Structure 1
Amino acid sequence: MPPQTIRSADGGNANMKMTLLDHASPLATKLAAKQRNAFAPSMPDPVVDKPWCRPAANGAPQQSLMTRTEACLFWRLEITWQAVDIPGAPKVNYETDFEFQYQVKVDKKGDTIKTWTQVTPLKNTFPDGDRSVLFGAGNPKAMLESMCNSKACDNGAGSQDIDFYGTLDWDGGMTGSIPNDTHIATGTATHKWNGDVNDASSTKDEDLSIDMPTYLVYNAESDIPPPPFGSKKREWKDYPPARFNWQIDVRCDKVPSNGTPGCVLAEYVPEYTIHAAKYPAAAAHIWLIQNKSKPSKGLGASWQSPLHYHPGHYTNGDPRVASGWDKEASRKVMCGKTQVKRADGWAPKKLFLNHPKTAMHPEIQGGPNPDQVSCDEFPFAATYESPGLPKDKGGKMPAGKNRGGECIQTVAAKTDDGSDHLLDDTRYDAPTWDETCGRSSMSKYINSGAMSSFGNTFAPGMRLLDQDEYWVNPGNTPGMSWFSGCSTSTPEVICTMSKP
């Protein structure tokens, strides 16, 4: 499960700026390493122990990345401390910078939400003095707390204290480009899901789950007053407490298809990989649509351009999706079959017709159920991108009156030399590449086998729910691609899949 970048925006107000960092700064890494080497036995261990997130790492910088169960964020908080204006008085501004690292870890088969926070000072232009910047440390207004903002949090929607090692007050002053006070504060807080969902009496995914956004809230104060103006005392401008802009979208569910109740980081977009060596025709069909269809180019080929999951009904007929639509109805729209064809062999435009040259693959499964011809479509029926899903049911690219006949039509066949090919199905109109989808006459063993682990392990393992994003890799990983010799620059696509 490769990590992904965090999708968020910068924020702040007149006296502060919050910037999400791609990775930890060299200075923060250096200071954190020094502190950890000195106090490792006493400091709380991080909750995410991955090379891309490991605190005080040497070499490659730690990065703001996440997986389906773990998140690691770095951001910089720059505060400009401004004194209340007095007529005739010079302005007073001090600047402080802190780098925060925030980790969140959830349990796909449990109820815990673990957090870990580290605060590293980078700049402090206050004059030398104690307690120039406070995030707590006895000041009644100062705070740095962990928030779980949901009725399903064990303590309700509210913040709780973080158990810090290291004080939350920093002295002022700089020596060159390094603050005089370089101590870091490291702490942990654990939230728990209390088991609540939106509507436990329903069968739908959105009702059997609940969002539990988790983030930090803070207010910075100072015990050092601004310098007076003559006999007049001055005060710092007052700003309301703030929250950091980057919440982690924790979601917990009790959807029966996902097994034991648990939680995930819903923002992460998981990758489903096709076994290209075992199911080459299915992989080639997906790759063709993702790379040659003009309107669907790149669709579902990366987490930045994902598909959206549309689960089917339960075996008793109860719906999982909000609209009540069954994905099998989408499949019927795209793959509705006919046993009739014209005398000249031309297939009816709207309906699917088994191709007589479709290659069977009994070697894949064997057993009592023989292989047979099936209709393979991309985008899949189990997506909101399926042209078989009507617009009023949430369909993102519904088909026109010719339904599956509007797709690029292919057949997975064997040529005379016994090799497998994905070929143009010449019984239909030749592709213009303006089609949004693909439909192929293919071995059921190949078609079903390529997606069998999706429903059996991938979707429940990632706790995929209705409308969740995911993407499909047909074997096109850079440096390990089965399609490295393939080009879509010409009207005809002629290429050979080769093992990387």
Structure 2
Amino acid sequence: MGLAARRGMHTLSGLSRRRSILSKIAVATAAVMLIGGGGNAAADSSGETLKWEYSPASRPAAGPETLTMANNHRPESGNNLKAAPGTKDANGVWQVDRTTTTLSNTVTDGDGGTANLTFEVYTTDANGNPKDQVKLTDPDTGKPAAYGVVVSSFVTSGGTAKVTLRYGDLKTNTTYAFRTSAYDGSLYETDWSAWSKFKTRGRAVDIKLPEPNKSAPAVDLDKYQEPQVGTRNLPEEVTRAAKDAGKGSETCTDHGQKITCIEVGKPSDLSAKERQDVANRLRASSGGLVPWCNDAGVSLGKDYLKRDSACLKWATPIVFKYLTKAPDGNIYNPADARFASAIEIKLDPVSRKFTQRLALVPMDPFVVEHGTIGMPGPFTMIPTFKCSPECTTAAPVWDGSNTWQPKGDFHAAYATFDHEWTGGTATKTDKLQLDWTIAGTFPGAPGQDYPQWLGNSTPDFDIRCDVVASATSPGCVFSAYKPTWVMNFAKTPAAVAHAWLIQSKLPNHPGSKVAGKPIKYLPASVRDSDLNRKVICPDGWAKTYGNPDTTPIDTSDTVSCDEFAYAASYNSGGMPASLGGMNEVDTGNDCVQTYASRIATGDWRLYDDIRTAAPTWKEFCGRSSMSNYQNTQSMQPFSGTFSSPSKFRLLDKDEYWVAFPEFAHCDASKVTVACVVPKP
């Protein structure tokens, strides 16, 4: 029917059709009033079932007509149909960024009164034509809406009437058509508006997860603590300065006709074959104070640390030189004794005591480079290890003699030094600096050679000792080492998936080792992290506002709100910038929104919340509605083990990584982050 015919400028045939329709409306309305309404189309007196193309008066969801007022003006739908939030594409289809779509249209009433609109939604076929009616839900009651349509509130004539469809009525990534028809409280519009189409957005997150296993064993955190390369003050820096001052690159002692020197070389001074030989000798001679010191990947020529141990392999080779001075002053017939060396350090996070161990492994005892002048007698290596301040050091205990014979003596020797931190207050930490030197002597020498400096521990290998973490259990750690936290995926897969998603997709990458973005620890003693949590996850948020499809794991469980980065961190979106917060937001609504739902036994999904706009992936935090068990249990071992004084002894602002080994195969770069975990 044309617009003129719809608005009262009827031809005879149009008028006849209008009277026929009105007759059916009257009968249908009476029938509906008699049966009290319902979801089925009414029947006229002939028994014909009214088709859905008839006016809403045939299924009066907005209320019954007052037929005594049939001569008044009927209200009319406008031609300004919109689906929001969204924009219209080149084909005239509204692209809506959620499934809780708001539909609207203008409406007028010729009597100048108020009117509302009935909204009807259909799926579409392959050609984009209306196909099947979507039986909508009453937005107010949550129950099926009468006749499957929803009705707006009354608005003034010329105003815009709108309805927001309830979550669950529409599917993701689906095209729909909708139309409206007006009602002014007495009379219905006799026809529907034109159709308008809209499409809901697709999912941005679809991660398939297994059933949580409450009996899953605890994560072996030690397994994930990889050695970290560290730096310290090295003798080559002193050597370079000495060269610049014209003092040479080694420390020598003149004994008259004999000169002895000690030089600390660099790994680059060795050939590839020599480097491998040194590594093999050290590995074969390892005493096991720090077992990982000789693991594959712990290379000669680098220094490594973990939270409670260190392996220093830079100081190689150490060369003891023996030279002869002729009457003319020339130096002849040098003979060298070269050693591979390594220093191992073992700390105890709940003790004031710690241990160092020096390994000396001969490479070539007294290699004569020129001539055949006799070799000196046995010579002795004398290391000196110190720590300061407020630290005591016992005399070294040797395993193997620290004296070597001139020829054929390839035995390894180990010097163990025990230290004890003697300071400490409840309000501050102490930094202990380690310092290493080595000297040598041989029979007949007037005294010990002047020692050669091997370096000191600053900055990364300085030791932090404290009683701040525990007044009853003082302890020491390498605070420069960033430990790695791994959540229990088998027990709490949804919480782990949420943290992985946020770390992988957001520009701040909280806790990512690859991105170099560690988490910065916030202990409760500094600021109650619950205050952070209430910004992102206010009390009762999950129950009241979380996605309705959020699933507890069993009847004893409930739903709760999970945030990442963790509330107990400076990375938390709830941590104010004025207090050192790195990602402050106003509310959890500013975060990426997800939820965890059980689709079937053994099939859980982490989805983005389709009730809101898709993530931009420019957010700075994540908020997820999920099982309370999965949320709380995912972090329960953190304070009990990981951050505790007996494990990694985290203090305020200490940094750590968060790793997700089960997600190594997942690709977070896709528009839709979809993955099956664990890998099938």
**TM-score surpassing 0.5?**
yes
Q: How does 1:52-67 map to 2 (within 5 A)?
A: 52-53=292-293, 65-67=304-306
| Deviation readout 1:436-469 (Å, 9 max, x if unpaired) | 3211122222211111111223221422221222
Residue 315 (structure 2) aligned to one of 76, 90, 101? 76
- Quote the offset at 1:434 in angstroms: 1.8
Q: How does 1:16-35 map to 2 (within 5 A)?
A: 19=266, 25-28=275-278, 31=281
- Quote the offset at 1:302 in angstroms: 6.5
Q: Distance in 2 between matches of 1:438 and 1:20?
A: 47
Q: Distance in 1 between matches of 2:652 and 2:267?
A: 30
Residue 431 (structure 2) aligned to one of 199, 207, 211? 211
Matched residues, number: 412
The answer to whether structure 1 residue 120 and structure 2 residue 361 are counterparts is yes
Q: How does 1:288-299 map to 2 (within 5 A)?
A: 288-293=501-506, 295-297=507-509, 299=511
- Quote the offset at 1:181 in angstroms: 5.0
Aligned to 2:493: 280
Q: Distance in 2 between matches of 1:221 and 1:498?
A: 58
| Deviation readout 1:374-398 (Å, 9 max, x if unpaired) | 2211111111222222233222x22
Q: Distance in 2 between matches of 1:398 and 1:53?
A: 38
| Deviation readout 1:317-336 (Å, 9 max, x if unpaired) | xxx33xxx332222223234
- Quote the offset at 1:310 in angstroms: 0.8
Aligned to 1:371: 558
Q: How does 1:30-109 map to 2 (within 5 A)?
A: 31=281, 46-48=288-290, 50=291, 52-53=292-293, 65-78=304-317, 97-109=338-350
Contact 2:394 2:418 in 1 (8 A): no
Aligned to 1:353: 545
Aligned to 1:381: 567
Change (3 A) 1:239 1:333: same
Contact 1:130 1:171 in 2 (8 A): no
Q: Which secondary structure does the structure 2 equivalent of 1:454 belong to?
A: helix
The answer to whether structure 1 residue 164 and structure 2 residue 402 are counterparts is no
Contact 2:264 2:452 in 1 (8 A): no
- Quote the offset at 1:301 in angstroms: 5.1
Contact 2:229 2:304 in 1 (8 A): no
Change (3 A) 1:492 1:423: same
Q: Distance in 1 between matches of 2:626 and 2:385?
A: 53
Aligned to 2:386: 147
Find the structure with the greater CA-based Rg: 2
Q: Distance in 2 between matches of 1:380 and 1:431?
A: 19
Aligned to 1:330: 532
Deviates more, 1:100-109 or 1:278-287: 100-109
Q: Distance in 2 between matches of 1:125 and 1:245?
A: 32
Q: Distance in 2 between matches of 1:238 and 1:439?
A: 63
Change (3 A) 1:67 1:61: closer
Deviates more, 1:442-451 or 1:120-129: 120-129
Contact 1:358 1:441 in 2 (8 A): yes
Q: Which secondary structure does the structure 2 equivalent of 1:161 belong to?
A: coil
| Deviation readout 1:412-454 (Å, 9 max, x if unpaired) | 2334788422111233332111223211122222211111111
Aligned to 2:672: 492
- Quote the offset at 1:306 in angstroms: 2.6
- Quote the offset at 1:410 in angstroms: 1.1
Q: Which secondary structure does the structure 2 equivalent of 1:489 belong to?
A: coil
The answer to whether structure 1 residue 191 and structure 2 residue 419 are counterparts is yes
Q: Distance in 2 between matches of 1:404 and 1:25?
A: 55
Q: What residue identity is the alignment partner of 2:343?
A: Y
TM-score, L = length of structure 2:
0.52
TM-score, L = length of structure 1:
0.68
Q: What residue identity is the alignment partner of 1:285?
A: H
Contact 1:302 1:471 in 2 (8 A): no
Q: Distance in 2 between matches of 1:9 and 1:132?
A: 35
Q: Which secondary structure does the structure 1 equivalent of 2:463 belong to?
A: strand
Change (3 A) 1:20 1:268: farther
Contact 1:148 1:212 in 2 (8 A): yes
The answer to whether structure 1 residue 129 and structure 2 residue 375 are counterparts is yes
Q: What residue identity is the alignment partner of 1:162?
A: P
Q: Distance in 2 between matches of 1:311 and 1:279?
A: 23
Q: Distance in 2 between matches of 1:30 and 1:359?
A: 56
Q: Which secondary structure does the structure 2 equivalent of 1:398 belong to?
A: coil
Change (3 A) 1:222 1:281: same
Contact 1:107 1:263 in 2 (8 A): yes
Q: Which secondary structure does the structure 2 equivalent of 1:451 belong to?
A: helix
Q: Which secondary structure does the structure 1 equivalent of 2:676 belong to?
A: coil
Q: Which secondary structure does the structure 2 equivalent of 1:119 belong to?
A: strand
Contact 2:264 2:454 in 1 (8 A): no
Q: Where does the alignment leave 5 or more consecutive residues of structure 2 unmatched?
A: 1-221, 240-248, 250-262, 269-273
Give the superposed CA RMSD: 4.4
Change (3 A) 1:491 1:133: farther
Q: How does 1:376-455 map to 2 (within 5 A)?
A: 376-395=562-581, 397-400=582-585, 402-415=586-599, 419-455=603-639
- Quote the offset at 1:121 in angstroms: 3.1
| Deviation readout 1:97-133 (Å, 9 max, x if unpaired) | 4322222222333332122211123355566532697
Q: Distance in 2 between matches of 1:392 and 1:95?
A: 61
- Quote the offset at 1:271 in angstroms: 2.6
Q: Distance in 2 between matches of 1:20 and 1:305?
A: 31
Q: Distance in 2 between matches of 1:485 and 1:30?
A: 35
Aligned to 1:5: 227
